[in-house]
Structure 1
Amino acid sequence: MEEMDVMGPVDYIVVEFPDGKVPKEVLPRVVDLVDQGTVRILDLAFLRKEADGSVVGLEIGETFDGEMDVRVFDGAASGLMGAEDRAEAAGVIEPGRAAMVVLYENLWAIPFASALRRSGAELVASGRIPVAALLDALDAADADHPVDA
């Protein structure tokens, strides 16, 4: 139980890049999140789905379109993300595109998660609302309840 008291929730994201390159603004933001203690990168992988549907793993240098020293991500391989996880991630990307798969621990949530566990509380559901869906819901709410001018 002591190990669980020092762990935050772990999430993953799959980000698709239509031209197969990670824009130069993206990876420095990931480094900022790590440097700020917001997240810990557990695994980081790059994939490309070929036109025939086959999937190949890519080295970070093959995908990054910027001047950053990408060696900072060397060693971001905890072993938690396996071949089955990569295959599942590849299932959501379009043929001819590349993707970055990131498995990360939410360090910001450790004190909260620890307090929940110590009190006997249990997280029974979680989810994520895509930004586009959130904006659509806000637009619909505005249309239903217009503000008087």
Structure 2
Amino acid sequence: MSDDVEQMGPVDYLVVEFPGNRMTGEGFPLLVDLVDRGIIRILDLVFIRKDSDGSVAALELTDLGDEVDLTVFEGASSGLLGQDDIDEAGNALEPNSSAGILVYENVWAAPFARAMRRSGAQLVASGRIPVQDLLASLDMVEATP
């Protein structure tokens, strides 16, 4: 297993909220495409719901209704996500919402990550810039004379 880990790319996670439990499924074919093209590998995918009383529960794919076909994601579980992760994700949700928690390997970055590990480099910081923040910064730059 340790040799497998040495071969891996960076691993990220996302929690995507669907306010009012309105999941259209529009993004799921795009997620499958990312996997099919070898850009990412899904390690875990869990769906949760936060009720009006604040309680959080993991959902089975069949609990999500017939409008969205999620059978392609059955078995996408490495066991990395535990109840504490589900509870923490639930804290970020508004009541009467559902969410998908996705843990994925950035397969596209694996060769670079392996080269960095071989050279003794180590990641000391990482982060994401929300698109809204990026757009706001660009708007400020454009507004500056």
* Bigger Cα displacement from structure 2, 82-91 vs 19-28: 19-28
State the Cα deviation string for residues 105-138 of structure 1 (Å, max 9, x = none): 1100000000000011111000000110111011
Q: Is the 8 A contact 2:24 2:68 kept in 1?
A: no
- The alpha-carbon distance between structure 1 residues 87 and 93, as it changes in their structure 2 partners (threshold 3 A), is same
Aligned to 1:11: 12
- The alpha-carbon distance between structure 1 residues 117 and 64, as it changes in their structure 2 partners (threshold 3 A), is farther
- The alpha-carbon distance between structure 1 residues 67 and 110, as it changes in their structure 2 partners (threshold 3 A), is same
- The alpha-carbon distance between structure 1 residues 23 and 86, as it changes in their structure 2 partners (threshold 3 A), is same
Q: Which amino acid aligns with 1:18?
A: P
Q: Is the 8 A contact 1:42 1:78 kept in 2?
A: yes
Distance in 1 between the 2:68 and 2:123 partners?
Answer: 41
Q: Is the 8 A contact 2:48 2:100 kept in 1?
A: yes
- Structure 1: stretches of 5+ with no match in the other structure: none
Structure 1 residue 22, shift from structure 2 partner: 2.1
Aligned to 2:94: 94
Distance in 1 between the 2:92 and 2:132 partners?
Answer: 17
Q: How does 1:68-83 map to 2 (within 5 A)?
A: 68=69, 70-83=70-83
Q: Which amino acid aligns with 2:74?
A: D
Aligned to 1:61: 62
TM-score, normalising length: structure 2:
0.92
- Structure 2: stretches of 5+ with no match in the other structure: none
Q: Is the 8 A contact 1:20 1:63 kept in 2?
A: no
SS at match of 2:104: strand
**Percent sequence identity over matched residues?**
53
Equivalent residues, number = 144
Q: How does 1:21-40 map to 2 (within 5 A)?
A: 21-40=22-41
Q: Is the 8 A contact 2:44 2:78 kept in 1?
A: yes
Q: How does 1:107-118 map to 2 (within 5 A)?
A: 107-118=107-118
Q: Is the 8 A contact 1:10 1:104 kept in 2?
A: yes
Q: Is the 8 A contact 2:38 2:108 kept in 1?
A: yes
* Bigger Cα displacement from structure 2, 76-85 vs 16-25: 16-25
Matched, 1:106 2:106: yes
